[in-house]
Amino acid sequence: MPKSKLFKSKNQSDSVFKRFVKQYAILLIVFIVFILGILIGRQTSEPEIVYKNDNHGSIYNKTEKPEFLSKDLNFDLFWDVWQIIEDNYVYQPVNETELLYGSMAGSVAALGDSHSVFFDPETTKDFNDELAGTFEGIGAEIAIKNDRLTIVAPLPDSPAKKAGLRSGDKVFAIDGMDTTGISLDYAVKQIRGPKGTDVVLTIGRDSLDDFKEIKITRQNIDIQSVKWELLENNIVHLEIRYFNEDTTDDFNQAVLEIINKNPRGIILDLRNNPGGFLDTAINVAAEWVEDKVVVYEKSADGKLKPHKVNGRARLKDFSTVVLINEGSASGSEIVAGALKDYNLATLIGETTFGKGSVQTLFPLKDGSSIKLTVAEWLTPNENTIEGDGVEPDMEVELTVEDFNQDLDPQMDKALEVLMANEE
């Protein structure tokens, strides 16, 4: 969809500007009416005591909404705020496009739902690229290890691999910027970039006497969402990193190869899998779940919509362990919850993230979009995922110390369980 300008230049008439902007104001009106409806509906008829201490008294009515939120609102108030900013803000000129985008983002944020987000056109593209399984960057998995940004593994045939990055390389600088104390999300944003551009990583390696600068040209990166290997004891380690557009085909191919190996058991690794497409997660679960409900979708009116599969369930006869942790979210929780409720697998690890709400992406005319929560997920036993997560059958923690020492007690426990099942 072609992008369109949100506003005309200052040298054009104010009347044209306002007519143009008011087309977008309709969206804001809808948001505000929706927000007010939620806020009014949440009001309680009786005071609630939310804090009590015999020495310091009590706080009442903390959840009561101010009276002004229950009154009708004249949308002219929005234009009053807009005009005050334009006339009085010290740093002129005001960027009107950013002001409008900020207004729309604030409307969605006012819902108080961390999963409902307004995306500007650039962020919308990045989001869709992630779901499509592609992005532009160097193709390396990174993590914070021993308080230092570290290369976990360069992807096969990636620019990172071809430039000479190795697993375990410590990244001390990105384009000359010191990475001490850097957050993982920020590091990812700095390393990724448009295809054809360069990024220079300053790395340290045990075999090197000094730092080494490695220049890498960014390219299109295809995310390998599914990979598997046959371990020495004839147990399959099957890892699914995302539920994106390529996952179903890649997973189907993996299933065919795994069946031919006839393993003694399968470890389905969903750790740090943030989710993705609903249909993809259901297709994965269908390789264990046969002719049953994988997940329920609970709408705002409380009605349950079952998502039932007529799957081939080609893996249902293999002993299965599912590895989960607090990074397993959304689609991962749907799969793990279904296999747990039907006793088709043993869940090992830590309670999942608890992201059990349904988001729909609503595209807008200018390339931006709204990711809005429209329902919630429930497991086949109608257990809530949102906020609660899916609990493991066997709780095994993987500590920072374990990670730093390349230990994986969760994997060790999974192997132990599968070996015991065969004895």
CA atoms within 13 A on the CB side of 38: 12
Does residue 285 contact residue 309 with C-beta atoms inside 8 Å? yes
Q: Which position has the token pair 């059990």?
A: 356
Identify the pLDDT of residue 65.
54
Using DSSP's 3-state secondary structure scheme, residue 177 falls into strand
Identify the pLDDT of residue 61.
47
Q: What is the dihedral of CA 114, 117, 123, 127, to 10 degrees?
A: 70
What does the alpha-carbon distance between residue 167 and residue 190 come to, in Å, rounded to a whole number?
A: 19
- Catalytic status, residue 355: yes
Catalytic residue among 355, 357, 366, 369: 355
- Catalytic status, residue 341: yes
**What ranges in 192-286 are assigned the alpha helix state H?**
247-261, 278-285
Identify the pLDDT of residue 250.
94
Tokens at residue 250, please?
């890649």
Q: Please give the distance of CA 47 from its chain centroid, rounded to a whole number.
A: 37
Catalytic residue among 158, 330, 332, 368: 330
Catalytic residue among 169, 246, 269, 341: 341
Identify the pLDDT of residue 66.
57
Identify the pLDDT of residue 67.
61
What does the alpha-carbon distance between residue 419 and residue 346 come to, in Å, rounded to a whole number?
A: 13
Query: Which parts of the chain have pLDDT scores under 70?
Result: 1-73, 114, 131, 133, 422-423
Domains, the chain, with CATH or none: 14-112 (no CATH), 134-222 (2.30.42.10), 226-421 (3.90.226.10)
Interval 148-166: pLDDT, tens = 999 877 877 889 989 999 8
Identify the pLDDT of residue 423.
59
Global pTM reads 0.65
- Catalytic status, residue 412: no
